[in-house]
Structure 1
């Protein structure tokens, strides 16, 4: 392979982290100020490999570069991999192929092709921990410390969004320039200035069955994230914590929730009230709907903003109904 960036990638692992990696990868491969690019979503359960290769070889009339997000690579058989290798030997240098899957057998032919012609990226929680370690190191390099409560509060207010956490830390290092320790009140004060709402506010509006407020918070988060998929990741993060809290509270009592989920004392009472407003079955139903919505957005079968608005209104309505996703 040459020293230039490869044209082929295989991303496997956690869907939310995978999406973050894809967003980062696109910015790295095609800086927006240099090229126009088009993103095309392919499902190999519905589209043949030959059709994918044909589209990749065709120059886009709309943009200089093309990015193909390819789902279900496990559908590729041995003869498919042979034809794919023939393309990889003489690819169209204006097309990037990003294959993604929750998991893929190491013996699958695509794994060998990536070793030879592309790059494999594993997206698991260890990746996020490494990224969090880098943020910790940034604070240490400035000879500062952040209390455990402050760190927990920062994660909660940003929904664990690493880019937002990094931006907040940059501001905090300036804001607390005369202090050695960054504490929870400092995080709370600064995050209130930077963030009008967070995912806690969204699920709180849903718990209170206030669709108007829920939509207001959603619109803010949508603008902040810049994509429907990003908002889905934030909602999933908070709903997952609420579900875990329900299970922990049932098995060990409410006192164990804050410790096990590392909920900031500044948010614990509000979080417990929110937890009590949801039933386990309600949260599990929301997960199913969210998973289905995420897939439809990624395959381009739904308008992201409209579908998410319908989903939010459905959850926040006094009576639970299945969202109208046909748009």
Structure 2
């Protein structure tokens, strides 16, 4: 999918968005982008303090926002990856306030698999305005 390649190329060239909301029926491209950010945004030394991987089933949207608002330690940025973010579907609207004013030193990645967010919602519009919203459609 061309859009996934464009996102990865933008990251390679240094254009890094504060929020990546990766959603859709096809998990392959969501995993590719998430793994690329996981592997390439921070060095191994920086990952210890500045990379957090959370799982939607084990966390709340409040915890995700609290992690995203932290400042990085001895690094330019921190990375917060939320895998299985579709488990946070009931409270995803609470992300709107953070999406409207994201932390510039944080890269928040939400892997929202097998579902899509309603494009009419305020939270989706805020995510599109200040970050990258990628929809991975089912391959035929």
TM bin, normalised by shorter chain, reads 0.5 to 0.7
106 and 53 in structure 1: CA distance in 2 versus 1, 3 angstrom threshold: closer
Match of residue 91, structure 1, among 91, 97, 102: 102
17 and 76 in structure 1: CA distance in 2 versus 1, 3 angstrom threshold: closer
CA shift digits 1:225-246 (9 cap, x unpaired)? xxxxxxxxxxxxxxxxxxxxxx
Matched, 1:118 2:131: yes
d(CA) in 2 for partners of 1:27, 1:45: 23
d(CA) in 1 for partners of 2:31, 2:136: 9
- For structure 1, the residue ranges without an aligned partner over 5 or more in a row are 127-327
Computing the radius of gyration from Cα coordinates, the structure with the larger value is 1
Hey, which of these two has a bigger chunk of helix by percent?
A: 1
Match of residue 54, structure 1, among 66, 91, 102: 66
Pairwise CA distance, 1:122? 3.2
Pairwise CA distance, 1:14? 3.2
Match of residue 102, structure 1, among 113, 119, 122: 113
92 and 39 in structure 1: CA distance in 2 versus 1, 3 angstrom threshold: same
CA shift digits 1:204-241 (9 cap, x unpaired)? xxxxxxxxxxxxxxxxxxxxxxxxxxxxxxxxxxxxxx
Cα RMSD between the aligned structures? 3.1
CA shift digits 1:285-326 (9 cap, x unpaired)? xxxxxxxxxxxxxxxxxxxxxxxxxxxxxxxxxxxxxxxxxx
TM-score norm. by structure 2 comes to 0.62
Q: Which runs of 4+ in 1 moved over 4 A?
A: 25-28
CA shift digits 1:146-175 (9 cap, x unpaired)? xxxxxxxxxxxxxxxxxxxxxxxxxxxxxx
Pairwise CA distance, 1:46? 1.9
113 and 72 in structure 1: CA distance in 2 versus 1, 3 angstrom threshold: farther
- Count of matched residue positions in the alignment of Structure 1 and Structure 2: 118
Pairwise CA distance, 1:91? 2.2
2:19 paired residue number: 8
Map 1:171-210 onto structure 2 (within 5 A). none
Contact 1:59 1:94 survives alignment (8 Å): yes
Name the SS for the 1:121 alignment partner.
strand
- For structure 2, the residue ranges without an aligned partner over 5 or more in a row are 1-14
d(CA) in 1 for partners of 2:59, 2:117: 23
1:194 paired residue number: none
76 and 5 in structure 1: CA distance in 2 versus 1, 3 angstrom threshold: same
Between 1 and 2, higher relative CO (CA 8 Å, sep ≥ 6) is seen in 2
Name the SS for the 1:98 alignment partner.
strand
